[in-house]
Amino acid sequence: MDKVSFFSIVKNYKAVFLDSYGVLKNHQGLIEGVVDTIKLIRDEGIELRVLTNDASRSQVQQVQMFEDLGLRGLEEKEIITSGMLARQFLELKIKTGKFAYLGTENSANYIMKNGLTGIPISDVDIENSSDVAAFVFLDDEGFDWHRDINRTINFLRRNNLPIIVANSDKYYPISRDDVAVAIGGISRLCESVLNQKFIRFGKPDSQMFMFAYDDINETGNFGKSDILMVGDTLHTDILGGNKFGLKTLLVLSGNTRAKHAEVKINSTGIIPDYIADSILE
């Protein structure tokens, strides 16, 4: 598949959904030139949403993070996170009690609602935990990997309750060539050990795309053919966009490297409509 210019493609759409990591920023910070790209999108009158599987920050914190990196002007409503969807699930399904979690206190505080208290798995009394109403995989920090992953598995073996994965990413880049295991990867390990299926939020599942689609249609009139999904990862961004019926553009500025792109596309069968080096030209 021949590469295209992002600028030439995006002008054919009324809305664009952008992944965050690998599209707008990377391990070094904001990708140089992104500020100008966002300005072009706005100047063209194209509706913008950032769809991220990051469950560790609220919308307010996401806006502040981008401002600290040098990208100003994003609005809270323009950022949609997997943590938002996990919070919404808890609000609808779990009314009272506690939820145990694997992750940081900050991410737990974000998805917490009135009447529900978060407790880290390290503080859970595994033998006396009847007041725990749900378990949430939040992020890959804030716990001892050896002790607390084992505690998680043993706790879940003893209890039949909703198990939520707030970030389905299996890994994320920490340098040009290296990655770190994300909470989605840890949750898959636990699923395999327990022989269970957990409730997942974020790309590639449809909830995030439906939320974004409904959101832009509150003030506009958009069909799926009017929207371009842009991401750097085949199994989340592109697969999710394809399943939801959007045109998809794979950028080679993040998880998918140019030298591996063709092989990965052929081996997975996940085919983007377009490929571009980045959103910078």
Is residue 82 within 8 Å of residue 208, measured between CB atoms? yes
pLDDT for the residue 10: 97
Q: How far is CA 258 from its chain centroid?
A: 22
User: What's the number of CA atoms in the CB half-sphere (13 Å) around residue 38?
Assistant: 23
Domain range 6-53+204-276, CATH architecture: 3-Layer(aba) Sandwich (3.40)
* Fold of domain 84-200: Rossmann fold (3.40.50)
Name the stretches of the chain with pLDDT < 70.
113-115
**Intervals of CATH 3.40.50.1000 along the chain:** 6-53+204-276, 84-200
Q: Within 10 A of 180 (CB to CB), how many other CB atoms are there?
A: 13
Distance CA 215, CA 237 (A): 18
In the structure encoding, which two tokens stand for residue 172, read together? Answer: 């994320």
Distance CA 114, CA 261 (A): 45
pLDDT for the residue 203: 94
pLDDT for the residue 115: 66
- pLDDT tens track for 181-234: 999 999 999 999 999 999 999 899 999 999 999 999 999 999 999 999 999 999
